[in-house]
């Protein structure tokens, strides 16, 4: 391989530097980067090879190179700034300026000179971030979704007063859920459909109020227009709100969190929800959905998983109003729509049926 490489470098006019190995599809640059021959790779770069050529498994030379580098634990790296751009009609960009197409840094005023950004969430009418275990919110305040004690619209990140260190936050269209240290769960905003998890004489909660359940510590949560859900460190699923077949039991309206006993207790990674469905990701990388009073395991299409020895497993789930998205360990992304009678004729149901999740992004595909 080395002799062939030297020949191609010394005779670029007669030797094709982009020629591919008939067995693996590797180019000379693939071989250099895979075997760590960086000096040879630098010499090849002077000849301007095509870095977009893919091997038999769909990898460019840079994909092969990245696979040989030990992965860093990104969770341990501090994030110190937030950048926003796009439409600002709902004041989600963190300032009162007009729409913008270029990223601009969010002005976050905290007690520390260089804040650590731990999480960032955005919904239709408000956004938030966690910095140094403190919660900051901005956006439309109607209904109390910001938790600031009033319903005024706020255009810049403003800290929410809440007891304990914030560990997790989930946003719905009209309300917010927060988990603090020791697994304590809090909520605020609209309670029109009993999503807040406790009885109220009014239809809104303007400041954080704890959802108290004895001997239960919550790990993650999610909230939609009609219901909310959460998982515990012991592997249980809790749901509450107005039931459209997504709570995991038959109760029409559940005011306080109720354990879903029909779902086996097991180690859970995360939970997400649409307006009428609840989705759970287990430690064994299985995805289950509660909808239409049924529990279904999502079966993803089987593709070749030989890419650099990786196995395609679900590692993250997210949701919008009517759709779920799943990130796989290979970097591919799938989407599907849970069955909903009122949306059965929509494009989401037709092109992204739950029975056949569609791959909408692949690291192997040229875009």
228-252 pLDDT tens trace = 999 999 999 999 999 999 999 999 9
Residue entry with tokens 């109220």? 200
Instruction: Of 340, 272, 330, 341, give the one whose Cα is nearest residue 301.
Output: 330
Instruction: Of 103, 109, 105, give the one whose Cα is nearest residue 132.
Output: 109
- Mean pLDDT, residues 158-177: 97
Predicted structure pTM score = 0.80
Q: For residues 210 and 269, is the Cβ–Cβ distance under 8 A? A: no
Q: For residues 336 and 357, is the Cβ–Cβ distance under 8 A? A: yes
Mean pLDDT estimate for the chain: 89
User: What pLDDT is attached to residue 305?
Assistant: 47
Confidence of residue 108 (pLDDT cuts 50, 70, 90): confident
Please report the DSSP string for 238-294 in residue order.
EEEEE-SS-SSS--SEEEEEEE-TTSPP--EEEEEEETTEEEEEETTS-EEEEETTE
- Quote the CA–CA distance of 77 and 75 in Å, as a whole number: 6
């Amino acid at each position: 391989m080395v002799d062939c490489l030297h020949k191609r470098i010394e005779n670029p006019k007669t030797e094709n530097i982009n020629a591919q190995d008939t067995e693996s599809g590797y180019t000379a640059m693939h071989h250099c980067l895979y075997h760590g021959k960086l000096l040879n790779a630098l010499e090849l770069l002077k000849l301007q090879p095509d870095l977009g050529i893919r091997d038999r498994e769909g990898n460019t030379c840079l994909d092969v190179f990245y696979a040989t580098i030990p992965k860093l634990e990104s969770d341990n790296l501090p994030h110190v700034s937030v950048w926003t751009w796009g439409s600002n009609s709902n004041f989600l960009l963190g300032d009162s300026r007009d729409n913008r197409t270029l990223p601009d840094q969010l002005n976050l005023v905290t007690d520390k000179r260089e804040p650590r950004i731990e999480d960032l969430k955005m919904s239709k009418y408000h956004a938030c971030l966690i910095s140094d275990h403190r919660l900051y919110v901005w956006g439309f305040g109607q209904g109390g979704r910001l938790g600031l004690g009033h319903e005024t619209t706020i255009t810049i990140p403003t800290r929410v007063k809440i007891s304990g260190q914030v560990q997790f936050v989930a946003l719905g269209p009209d309300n917010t859920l927060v988990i603090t240290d020791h697994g304590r769960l809090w909520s605020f905003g609209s309670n029109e459909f009993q999503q807040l998890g406790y009885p109220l004489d009014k239809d809104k909660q303007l400041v954080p109020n704890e959802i108290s359940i004895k001997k239960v510590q919550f790990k993650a949560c999610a909230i939609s227009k009609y219901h909310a859900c959460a998982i515990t460190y012991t592997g249980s699923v809790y749901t509450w709100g107005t039931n459209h077949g997504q709570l995991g039991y038959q109760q029409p309206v559940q005011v306080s969190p109720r354990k879903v006993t029909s779902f086996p207790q097991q180690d859970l990674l995360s939970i997400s929800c649409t307006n009428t469905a609840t989705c759970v990701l287990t430690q064994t990388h299985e995805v289950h959905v509660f909808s239409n009073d049924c529990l279904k395991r999502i079966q993803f299409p089987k593709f070749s998983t030989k890419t650099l020895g990786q196995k395609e497993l679900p590692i993250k789930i997210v949701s919008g109003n009517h759709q779920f998205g799943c990130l796989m360990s290979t970097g591919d992304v799938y989407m599907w729509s849970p069955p909903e009678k009122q949306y059965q004729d929509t494009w989401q149901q037709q092109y992204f049926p739950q029975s056949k999740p569609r791959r909408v992004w692949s690291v192997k595909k040229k875009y």
